[in-house]
Amino acid sequence: MSFLSATFHLTHNCNLRCSYCYTGEKLPLAMTYETINESIRFVLSELDRLGLHKVDITFFGGEPLIEKQKIFYIISKFNEIANLEVSYRMSTNGVLITNDLMSKLYENKVYLSLSIDGHPDVHDRHRLDAGGNPTALRVEKAAQIMLNYNPATNVTCVVSPDTANQLAESVDYIYELGFRYITTTLDYSAEWNEGHFKEIEKSYKKLAKWYIGKMESNERFYLSFFDERIRSRTLKPLQASERCQMGISQFSISPNGELYPCIQFVKTDSLPEFMIGHVRTGFDAACQQHIHRKSEKEKPECAGCQMESRCSKWCSCINYMSTGSIEKASPIVCYNEKILIEIVDKTADILWKKRNNHFVHKHYNNDYHIISHFEITL
Ligand code: SF4
Ligand code: SF4
């Protein structure tokens, strides 16, 4: 382990009411300055205990910008520590972004990820505000402000069963807004049926053409659905030590200071079975190990599957969201991976056979991501 990853859930409040939100009831319960100070002390003591000098701090919610003063307070406290390398990230729904706020976040080197599900018709199906109003146009405005400061801003795009048929158009819309880093994920808590998977398969096929077109035009971008799976074939699948190390090298701090192994377990109602300690008293090592062991357990339902090393069935929070257990592979993941890996592999084969220079460079040159990041931000 070379660095620690700590997520500060600053509030249980949010200005949106996304239909697929897993964080529970939206209440004005924020992390107090007392808990913040205890949390910072805890993170520093963990770094000390592990002999590490590098930490990733993520601001999360609810919507973290509701507590924006606390973000800058935490940054100022970490920045006071000598010989500590800290990087800051934040996930936001974008509605509270203004030019002044963005300028301050940029000055403090906070790397942002904005949630956009696709073009306004798709986005507003699931991402309404607390008053039931659409948010797409406000988020579009925020997107332009964010991209002006950092063209490498990430977008997280959630695909729901009823938007699966518009995935390719949604990705293209996000791309046309100017984003070059697009992280796509399914709503794993939703009810997916065969009809929805047929629709998503058609969308993946359209997206494959889109991907090939962009590669042939030599465009620099990252699309997680495709690039992660090409990576797991051309390089090698992520080793257990490279994965999230649930509850060991990464943890989440709830607004009242409880420690959890992952963001997905921080909800307005505590989940005692996944609590691995408290910032005041430290980790409960027995709970931490128990959850970690459970998450690493072999999945008998996957025995003999040829995709096992490339599939994301190891992600405990997805498994929990989808099956209610961190030990069972999600059937949604299973269905999706089988469809997607086949399409992605065919896409990669086409580009390989054409000896597409950009493809070879992107997937076989270890320095590509650094070079491409510079090219996107220039
Ligand atoms: S913006 Fe995030 S926290 Fe707020 S309701 Fe939507 S998914 Fe939940
Ligand atoms: S979840 Fe499905 S695709 Fe993934 S490894 Fe298990 S059986 Fe294979």
pLDDT tens digits, one per residue of 191-245 = 999 999 999 999 999 999 999 999 999 999 999 999 999 988 887 666 655 666 6
pLDDT at 248: 72
Closest ligand relative to 263 C-alpha: 1
pLDDT at 199: 98
Q: In angstroms, what is the span from residue 347 Cα to ligand 2's centroid? A: 21
Shortest-distance Cα residue to atom 7 of ligand 1: 21
Q: Which atom of ligand 1 is nearest to the CA of 92?
A: 1
SS3 331: helix
Average pLDDT, integer, range 337-359: 95
Most confident of 142-156, 240-254, 303-317: 142-156
**ω into 94 cis (within 30 of 0):** no
* DSSP H helices in 259-324: 285-296, 316-323
Shortest-distance Cα residue to atom 2 of ligand 2: 334
Contact between 338 and 332 under an 8 Å Cβ cutoff? The reply is no
pLDDT at 347: 98
pLDDT band of residue 269 (cuts 50, 70, 90) is confident
Our answer on whether the CB atom of 302 is closer than 6 Å to any ligand 2 atom is yes
Whole-prediction pTM: 0.92
Q: In angstroms, what is the span from residue 200 Cα to ligand 2's centroid? A: 18
pLDDT tens digits for range 21-56 = 999 999 999 999 999 999 999 999 999 999 999 999
Q: Which atom of ligand 1 is nearest to the CA of 15?
A: 4
pLDDT at 293: 85
Query: Cα separation of 355 and 360, whole Å?
Result: 7
pLDDT at 247 over 80: no
- Domain boundaries along the sequence of the chain: 4-242
pLDDT tens digits for range 71-90 = 999 999 999 999 999 999 99
- More confident of the two residues 248 and 281: 281
Cα Rg, the chain, nearest whole Å = 20
Shortest-distance Cα residue to atom 1 of ligand 2: 334
Question: Strand runs (DSSP E) across the chain, as ranges?
Answer: 4-9, 54-60, 85-92, 110-115, 154-159, 181-186, 222-223, 250-253, 258-260, 277-278, 282-283
Q: Which atom of ligand 1 is nearest to the CA of 22?
A: 8
pLDDT band of residue 290 (cuts 50, 70, 90) is confident
Our answer on whether the CB atom of 142 is closer than 6 Å to any ligand 2 atom is no
Query: Cα separation of 160 and 164, whole Å?
Result: 6
pLDDT at 268 over 80: yes
Our answer on whether the CB atom of 16 is closer than 6 Å to any ligand 1 atom is yes
Our answer on whether the CB atom of 340 is closer than 6 Å to any ligand 2 atom is no
pLDDT at 19: 97
- More confident of the two residues 247 and 147: 147
Query: Nearest-CA neighbor of 13 among 31, 35, 1, 39?
Result: 31
Share of the chain above pLDDT 70, in %: 94
The CATH topology of domain 4-242 is: TIM Barrel (3.20.20)
pLDDT band of residue 331 (cuts 50, 70, 90) is very high
Shortest-distance Cα residue to atom 3 of ligand 1: 62
* H-helix or E-strand spanning residue 40: helix 33-50
pLDDT at 307: 87
